[in-house]
Amino acid sequence: MSRMIFYGKNPFFEALNSNKIIKAYIRKDDRIKDLLIRKKILFEELTADKHKEKFGKDAQGYAFEFEVEYCDLDELGQNSGNICILDHIQDPHNFGAIVRAGHCFGVRNFIIAKDNQSPVTPVVVKSSAGAAIYSRFYEVVNINRSIEELKEKGYWIYAADMNGETKLGDIRPNEPYVVIIGSEGEGIRKNVLKKADVVFRIPMRGVIDSLNASQSAAIAFYHFYINSKI
């Protein structure tokens, strides 16, 4: 577990609704004070200028202490829900946007590599619009080994790659499933692609021949959500 300061209006209220705020930092003119008192949440009042100086303008006047917990992969079973594996996503904004899309379309578990990967940071949480508060994160040393473990538990592995043989629209996914999303520049590494049951591409007709990682993830999650067999 790691206790960190997170910020932003949406993450703040999601954490507040889920009763996961350890301590809040609010502006003195913020009417949220009475709610924090009712919920018996520890808080500190700051002037608007002091709050901005301490947490930055991106905090939107809201900051809070929150404990990030990386779960154990052994906890995942067939009833744990669908999963996204991020193969070395290093941009925290992309990471957060992927988590936000997953929250909307039934993917609440995210497996990330311990190295060469953005961890869960305040930027990730803010970029997720608070969806990270409701998600579960698993940090692993070896993604390939984790895929093998998931296969043994009955998960189907789908990997997004611009050169995939299968069109996304042709997939009728088996559940539970794993969707692998690759890094911004390199995509999914070849040794990871080999582990997938299906490698799919998102057909495009624009002059620009690629989407960023979070856009690809959102499209894939939506397709899997509306076409799931269960």
The enclosing domain of 216 has a CATH number of 3.40.1280.10
pLDDT over threshold 60, residue 17: yes
Tens-place pLDDT, residues 97-129: 999 999 999 999 999 999 999 999 999 999 999
Residues 120, 63: one domain?
Answer: no
Report, as an integer, the average pLDDT of 56-65.
92
Residues 6+ apart with CB under 8 A from 216: 160, 181, 202
pLDDT over threshold 70, residue 230: no
Q: How many C-beta atoms lie closer than 10 Å to residue 74's C-beta? A: 9
CA distance 18 to 109: 17
Distances (CA, A) of 221 to 36, 94, 100, 107, 129: 35, 15, 11, 7, 17
Residues 133, 55: one domain?
Answer: no
Residues 45, 128: one domain?
Answer: no
- At residue 79, the 3 state secondary structure works out as coil
Could you tell me if 116 and 2 are in contact, meaning their C-beta atoms sit under 8 angstroms apart? no
CA distance 230 to 24: 40
Q: How confident is the model at residue 3 (pLDDT cuts 50, 70, 90)?
A: confident
pLDDT over threshold 60, residue 160: yes
For residue 1, the model assigns a pLDDT of 66
Q: Which of 45-59, 66-80, 121-135, 187-201 has the lowest mean pLDDT?
A: 66-80
Residues 103, 11: one domain?
Answer: no
pLDDT over threshold 80, residue 95: yes
Amino acid making up residue 160: A
For residue 209, the model assigns a pLDDT of 64
Q: How confident is the model at residue 30 (pLDDT cuts 50, 70, 90)?
A: confident
pLDDT over threshold 80, residue 136: yes
**Of 19, 39, 68, the domain-final residue:** 68
CA distance 121 to 132: 10
Residues forming beta bridges with residue 66, ordered by sequence position: 4
For residue 13, the model assigns a pLDDT of 93
Which token pair is 60?
């939107």
Which token pair is 225?
């959500």
Number of domains observed in the structure of the chain:
2
Amino acid making up residue 110: F
- Length of the chain, in residues: 230
Give CA torsion, residues 222, 225, 226, 230, to 10 deg.
170
**Which structural domain range is residue 34 located in?**
2-68
Q: Pairing relation of β-strands 70-71 and 82-87?
A: unpaired
pLDDT over threshold 80, residue 78: no
**Of 68, 93, 114, the domain-final residue:** 68
Residues 105, 204: one domain?
Answer: yes
Taking the model in full, what pTM does it have? 0.91
**Of 14, 41, 68, the domain-final residue:** 68
Residues 101, 215: one domain?
Answer: yes
Residues forming beta bridges with residue 186, ordered by sequence position: none
Give me the DSSP letters along 138-156. Answer: EEES-HHHHHHHHHHTT-E
Q: How confident is the model at residue 229 (pLDDT cuts 50, 70, 90)?
A: low
Residues 22, 48: one domain?
Answer: yes
Residues forming beta bridges with residue 187, ordered by sequence position: 183
Report, as an integer, the average pLDDT of 49-67.
92
Residues 23, 133: one domain?
Answer: no
| Closest C-alpha to 157, from 75, 224, 222, 230 | 224
DSSP conformational letter for 109: E
Which token pair is 216?
């690809």
User: What's 57's domain CATH number?
Assistant: 3.30.1330.30
pLDDT over threshold 80, residue 8: yes
Residues 54, 91: one domain?
Answer: no
For residue 64, the model assigns a pLDDT of 96
Residues 80, 58: one domain?
Answer: no
Residues 50, 108: one domain?
Answer: no
Tens-place pLDDT, residues 163-213: 999 999 999 998 899 999 998 888 999 999 999 999 999 998 876 767 899
pLDDT over threshold 90, residue 2: no
Residues 16, 83: one domain?
Answer: no
The alpha carbons of the chain give a radius of gyration, in whole angstroms, of 19
